[in-house]
Structure 1
């Protein structure tokens, strides 16, 4: 409710006193922003209790005193303290809709509640969220925030708004008791958008002959309100792409026309229009009754349930097959739209499954029953066959031992691409058909046939019929999990080349060791682990007092690159123009040089500005931020005279990062002797 300052201001306004924001700021020793906050709180209470809100003239704030305020303050004093349910509703409103996150100190002051009480509430909420696989996390300066699937969080937002609208519309409910909840609700939800949502639903029911049932009305209202009230909608680009077919529908055009008129805008965001059209399509199909609203909005759930059911029937785990998931995501809703509008698909491949009475059709029929019951639709034979086609391909992917053919795209240049290629071959049985720089992919892709996947370390602007999987330049556990979703399993066992050579050495005389090693590597290819080279030897040899430098702070990333480049220039490895080339590469292509948070490898292409192959190491105490938000305080800069001389450097570096705590240890050093100590202790060399 109102705090003592707000109550005092309201009392004086009722008595006819006039205020301005400067006067409030000076009287209570608060900022202009806080003064405005006090008046906003007073207005929200007055509005809630059906009083006229404050009048704001040029330099004056007043209240119409011709209103009956007889019982107002008495009523406010008698309002119960916030219940736990109301506290949790307020905390959820902040977590769901406040971009700054939830700050405990701030909310305790606003609600005049102890930290212990708020922490208990957060603990209860955390348990509730975990059931939906949503995590409540604390991020220092950003306070508490929610992590989880975007659609799961969206459903919880809709549930909360639906509950608030139920209480607002309940004539038997006392609005006074919920006053604090409503105050926060109207802080995040604009009254204008509520009115616009009402107008839209009335108009769309009329134009499209919809029948929105009472059971679903508040859910639908809340969802449309969220779409109109908040700009950021999409977290998953697959969602957007899968629904793009709606852009060409009559429903989309009608919705666009209605919204342009209501919002008085010449253009409405495509994402908003797609989402609302998708919602209207669901209402058209079964009025979103029988508790089907959540499943329609979060179709991921129904698709995963279907895949799980198929997996049990065919006795093969398809649940991690991302290609199958995307295939069904792009099919289920469009299929329902076609059914509703009597549109039939024709495709000889799918028809073949029907003519041959393929057993996969029975599998699909069993797996699709729950969706048919939920949305009151019956999928025809051709739609069943299309789903069967996706499922058959998935079964083949997940049971076949066929080696996957992949194209590798890397933004870090030839050297790091080769190192990543080697790492992939060590971990997987893959046929890497080619390694391409990102700028050649558009022109090169048409030349390749029967490619299963594109693996890329950067985001690709173009879309391809082949699945694109983004991985880290240094393979992490998350990459192994992601690749497994595409049917690529990690190699469990590999032969150690070091141990193999020891066995050969102990049982025979080796005439040409180098030739033998090369023949073994060529013969066994991906089945062998090349562990002959000692890790760190190359870097240890190349780094010395002359090419190492520590500084406390730099102005920005450009200064960091310049300092790292200056070391190369001082050691006669490069000409001065090479430094400008490094900076231009980042300006053009982004912070691709950050291979892991904390470390960057500045470099430029081979040119006349490279005098010889060499490296420099710059360590900065304060981390430097790049335009994409990533940061680094270790800068291992290099120049190479040809395409191969730096491969050993990069291979060494990647091994040190993944296995020998290079980033953690080196980021703390301040002098060259500590670098020597790292190599001595970690690598025992």
Structure 2
């Protein structure tokens, strides 16, 4: 790591004048006590990175410096930073900052400012073009105006915010920005004072990084406004932000600055709303209803997937709320930072990150869009730190994957069944064979209905497991992993015993409570199961008006279209979904789940409006491939990974009964077919 300019100066001061105290440092460098604390932490982080002891600070404000620090930094002439050498990436940030804050720039401006050759600048300009393209911005050159940025002003503001932070993280970053953008120190000081008042007004404290960057960001934004580079149209309605405390704070910052349009005031309000805080007096949902509930649901899903019970969850929720409230606005209004490769999650946390990512559905549903990678990474860091604190680790748990060639729905069904069978394992994914061949996460066990080439432990298991098969598979896995067969209490067996001696009023509820009692440490509670619990039964999805009887069709494509017709007409799926199913069938013949029966389906985002199923019964079968003739075509339209699984499990049981499968094939009326379907809907 590197030190910023202020921290570097303070470290040199401490080495040259170790008797100096905190107040003298604050006075000499014109910084606040808080800014000194921030730099002091940076210095100790840098020393730790160099395997040197940390500097201690007494309550009286004196510094205790280990002699090793003096010898290391003087005898070996190790300077904390080299102020003159810029990396390629840093030069790119400098070029972009000059383009953001100046007009009519030529190559000479860049070469003289950065003190490099013309060819170096031309090479850096290409890298700068690649960098700004991630923000949907281009760098253009004309003889009349020189180099300039071209793109929507909202995207340019997003770039401005990120580049300002990047340069401030560099050595002597504040000096660089003031020099490149020609900003007076007095202007930054005035804006800093106003922001201090804002903190008091909002009853919160911004992070030190943001406190440093906010005055520079506001200064550059105000300059662009004065240059006439304004946000012309804003998709945020005034009513959404005008009643927030942040909007009142914006008015306070801009109280004497004239000609600031409402759109610009809204943008600055949004900037305040998206800034990370490390403390807040009030953690409320006044502006984001249901946020706390979404975070709670997210943690419960994580506990279920990671087989871990989070301790002191209320404190963790408060930490998450501090981060996620500003993240909510960043995500909703596309202000999330574009990730650099170095910002990606570390290798040791890859599996944890994967599980956190799978658990963010409640949060993404609340915001109305997917959670960006950079925000998920931060959630991983928070939750990972919490697990380390309580002494838990995903790395210590048995991690498994499911590889199934029989299509998405069947593989997810298999994953659901195995997750229930092995609650002590972490199941990372259900994969196709092709996905398995390039899978990068770490795992120990593979479950699959087919043989696979793998160095990991492979257990062959049917796509749909009957009760006895489950028992045998669990014994086999536990014996091979641990060398013994654990004494497992089977909830289904308990229910059967209770039935012999008592009347059960609610079997499902009893089953869940018994499971929670027998497995208290798996991180799975009754409520956890309900979060993802499939609700619709087979007869609730395949209703009589979704059943079609026909003598024959000319092709399997026509079979899919005929079966799907009731769902298109009712608005459950779009016509595009039908074509997507046909396309997937051409690539993947594994939609056949049993003799004479097929379940064509596609992805939820390919035209599904609501979870649904439909059935086509053909008197004369249709050829799906050279190997299969199909009489029963069940179209499945899923909106997520869970809501259709109960019905699918019931369908798999029906498919496994030769007697009922034949009876359904030979049904002469819709009512007769529906009677057979209802038979499996209470399973």
Smaller-chain TM-score range?
Answer: 0.3 to 0.5
Structure with more relative contact order (C-alpha pairs < 8 Å, separation 6 or more) = 2
